[in-house]
Chain A
């Protein structure tokens, strides 16, 4: 008689009964001794579930040993989204709502935005015997709050440089005039002389625009964090950069298809084609390209500082990843710090991780550590980082500046706008 009603009620009760199964996600294994839970969130490429077997093998080994040494700790590992901007936005939202994991990987340039939610780790850094002045200045400074306390540790860095074919370019160009002169010869020899990312992604701004803009002394924001890139001298300096790239495309030294390449790694396919003579890229491409064109192919390539406008100083952009600890529980904070110390930040951790993954260490002493397996370019990368390395501003307006200037650069390269119009439109959009 009341079968329909009864069935409905039973179904709801069954659903309610099953809800823990759906809501629970990973079910913790029963570990009677475990009293500390560390929620550890890493970028997929830096995690136990990465696609590179060598990285995963290293991490499984070091994390496995750490677990044995810390039976009282349960490690819950999760990964960020592969899209960096998206994953950082979501992590920031979680942090602002008090839902951040215990320890998470953070794109260093945006780490200051997390300062209100991160826990200081000065005591743990000191106890581990790590000196902050061992870090490159840009890496050591950015993790400190206004109170001078340490809120994170940058464990990898990267640097933007000029890659050039040593068999085609005898002396790497130092100035834009040098680039144009050597490109003329390379073009007549049938090569794509000078490639650079000019599409709509952070790589275009960070690699193609900022180093040449900073080299002239340009500033994206002022001391108060207000955008200044499109006004006064800064406007002239940014226009110089856009005009330089326009002249490369207009003269056929750079193909307009660079407007499709937003990130440095997008150029790898061009390099593999054998028709590229020079390109702007990141140090991390050494490992990527070696796996594509082989060690012999890579041996043809040299590395130099990014060419600058005549009279400008050398400058380049440095990035990288940090670890930040969100948990306020002291025991969990210590356990999380111990994990990142062993795997990524300590002497052996940073030496091994950077060697295996092909990143640059952020601590100067690691470059002379016997465990660190440097590649042929590491010495020069370290020199460039130390002397010319600059980081993107942490101002609230920076993401919009970057986005609008990516649009401006790709519009100039594709011929949609003149450099003046493109820059003025970007300036208006940022200031609206």
Chain B
């Protein structure tokens, strides 16, 4: 039975209900972020106690040619991964939706198989793909390629450009399921009468896809792109296991650089400055996301 609380009680109740969330947010997000921002303006390292205010972390970072290269690698990795994940996720979602409308068997198996890649931890995915891309004759992909081109010199992970492509393939395999889930949900709620009306009007499947389904689903696709982009910017666990950022810095994305700077070089100041950069990128992406949601709600 619904009861309407008096205004005063409602306000108190509102704050009481919100309090746990606020406390959790402050404890696990606001304070750590504040500390990271604070550390980024110091010369703190893990090797000595104490630190002093300094802008050298930012000046070193922004004038370092390696950081420009890391940003370039990150953008290549993110743009290619997001494009492939969203396109492949959409294709799989369409395939599942088609199977659903046709009453085909085995859809659950397909969904589970795709979702399995999403559920596996990034480190495990990195190790699995490292074995797949092994350049020894025992490497699965190497062995298959050598069946086609015997004696081919394959460098999936030891050539800088190939290593980046290999990393993108592994990350696409990992992340496609997430796009598929979002877009499949959109297709499931797609108004069927629109599709049927277009079919009666003589629109073939391709026209229905490009002129009805995609325009209707466009807001969801954009949300999907934004969420996948934020996730991909933050990727480092899979790359850590797959390439370690190498050879050279060819697969070192910004999140991996932060990890290595803090935990391998013990440089808290510089690592925190890079983390603030990544945070700003993510805040920008999130801002676009919320703005879009607001526009959509109008």
The closest CB in chain B to the CB of A202 belongs to B264
- Interface presence of B47 (CB below 8 A): yes
Select B159's contact among A11, A15, A414, beta carbons within 8 Å.
A414
Asked if A413 is at the interface (CB within 8 A of a chain B CB), the reply is yes
CA distance A269 to B135 in the complex (A): 12
Are B244 and A199 in contact, with the CB atoms below 8 A?
Answer: yes
Identify 8 residue pairs between A and B in the complex whose beta-carbon atoms are under 8 Å apart, listed by A's number.
Answer: A1-B5, A5-B16, A92-B47, A257-B136, A270-B136, A396-B48, A414-B250, A429-B66
Residue from A201, A260, A407 within 8 A of B248 (CB atoms): A407
Q: Which chain B positions have C-beta within 8 A of A425?
A: 66
Q: Are B248 and A417 in contact (CB under 8 A)?
A: yes
- Contact in complex: B5, A5 (CB < 8 Å): yes
Contact B247 A259 (CB under 8 A): yes
At the interface, is chain A mostly helix, strand, loop or mixed? helix
How many chain A residues touch B (Cβ–Cβ < 8 Å)?
49
Residue of chain B at shortest CB distance from A406 = B246
User: Is A393 interfacial (CB 8 A cutoff)?
Assistant: no
Q: Is there an interface contact between A407 and B249, defined as CB atoms closer than 8 Å?
A: yes
Bound CA–CA A8/B267 (angstroms): 44
The closest CB in chain A to the CB of B160 belongs to A416
Those of A390-406 within 8 Å (CB) of chain B: 396, 399-400, 403, 406
A432–B155 CB distance below 8 A: no
**Given A5-B9, A407-B249, are A260 and B158 neighbors across the interface (CB < 8 Å)?**
yes
Closest 7 CB pairs of A and B: A411-B248, A414-B247, A8-B16, A200-B244, A257-B135, A259-B247, A410-B247
A370 at the interface (CB under 8 A from B): no
Q: Does B243 make an interface contact (CB < 8 A)?
A: yes
Whether the Cβ atoms of B49 and A410 lie closer than 8 Å is no
**Residue A54 is within 8 A (CB to CB) of chain B in the complex:** no
Please report the C-alpha to C-alpha distance between residue A432 and residue B246 in the assembled complex, in whole angstroms. 21
CB neighbours of B13 from chain A (8 A): 4-5, 8
* Docked-complex contact B267 and A400, CB < 8 angstroms: yes
Q: Does A256 interact with chain B (Cβ within 8 Å)?
A: yes
Other than the known A89-B46, A403-B260, what 8 A-B pairs have Cβ atoms closer than 8 Å? A3-B3, A8-B13, A12-B20, A199-B247, A257-B134, A257-B157, A399-B264, A403-B265
A8 nearest in chain B by CB position: B16
| Chain A residues whose C-beta falls within 8 Å of the C-beta of B246 in the assembled complex | 199-200, 259-260, 262, 406-407, 410, 414
Assess whether A396 is in contact with B47, with CB atoms less than 8 Å apart: yes
B264 engages A416 (CB within 8 Å): no
User: Nearest Cβ distance between residue B76 and chain A, in whole angstroms?
Assistant: 15
A32 and B263 CA atoms in complex are apart in Å by 41
Alpha-carbon distance A172/B245, docked complex (angstroms): 34
* CB under 8 Å from chain B, chain A span 256-298: 256-260, 262, 269-270, 273
Cβ of A269 and Cβ of B245 under 8 Å apart? Answer: no
A interface vs B, CB < 8 Å? 1-5, 8-9, 11-12, 15, 83, 85-86, 89, 92-93, 96, 113, 116, 199-201, 255-260, 262, 269-270, 273, 396, 399-400, 403, 406-407, 410-411, 413-417, 422, 425, 429, 432
| Cα A328 to Cα B156 with chains together (Å) | 53
Residues of B within 8 A of A116 (CB): 49
The answer for the CA separation of A417 and B66 in the assembled complex, in Å, is: 13
Tally of chain B residues near chain A (CB < 8 A): 44
- Distance between Cα atoms of A382 and B236 in the complex (Å): 40
Contacts of B9 in A (CB 8 A): 1-2, 4-5
Closest chain A residue, CB of each to CB of B131: A269
Instruction: Tell me if B138 counts as interface (CB < 8 A to partner A).
Output: yes
Could you tell me if B244 and A201 are in contact, using CB atoms closer than 8 angstroms? yes
Q: Whole-angstrom distance from the CB of B249 to the nearest CB of chain A?
A: 6
Give chain A residues whose Cβ lies under 8 Å from the Cβ of B155. 256-257
Chain B residues whose C-beta falls within 8 Å of the C-beta of A96 in the assembled complex:
46, 49
- B48 cross-chain contacts in A, Cβ below 8 A: 396
Is the pair A413, B158 in contact by a Cβ cutoff of 8 Å? yes
Tell yes or no: B282 within 8 A of A by CB.
no
Contact A200 B245 (CB under 8 A): yes
Contact status B247-A413, CB under 8 Å: yes
Complex Cα distance A5/B12, Å?
Answer: 7
Structural contact, A259 and B158, CB atoms closer than 8 A? yes
For B262, list chain A residues within 8 Å (CB). Answer: 89
Q: How far is the CB of B266 from chain A (nearest CB, A)?
A: 5
Is B210 part of the contact surface with A, judged by Cβ < 8 Å? no
Partner of A273, one of B138, B157, B159: B138
Report chain B residues within 8 Å CB of A422.
248
Q: Which residues of B contact A86 (CB under 8 A)?
A: 263
Could you give, for residues 119-145 of chain B, a 1 whenever the CB lies within 8 Å of some chain A CB and a 0 otherwise?
Answer: 000000000001000111110000000
CB-nearest residue of chain B to A411 = B248
Choose one: A83, A257, A399; the contact of B265 (CB below 8 Å). A399
- Asked whether, in the complex, the Cβ of B243 is within 8 Å of the Cβ of A260, the reply is yes
> Complex Cα distance A2/B246, Å?
61
> In the assembly, what is the distance between CA of A269 and CA of B137, in Å?
12
B263 partner residues in chain A, CB cutoff 8 A: 83, 85-86, 89
B60 sits at the interface (CB 8 A): yes
Residues of B within 8 A of A83 (CB): 263
* Given known A200-B246, A396-B47, A429-B66, contact A12–B266 (CB-CB < 8 A): no
Which of B66, B155, B247 is packed against the most chain A CB atoms within 10 Å?
Answer: B247
User: Are the CB atoms of A416 and B3 closer together than 8 Å?
Assistant: no
Closest to A116 in B: B49
Most buried by B among A4, A260, A396, A410: A260
Question: What's the nearest-Cβ distance from chain B to residue A338, in Å?
Answer: 30
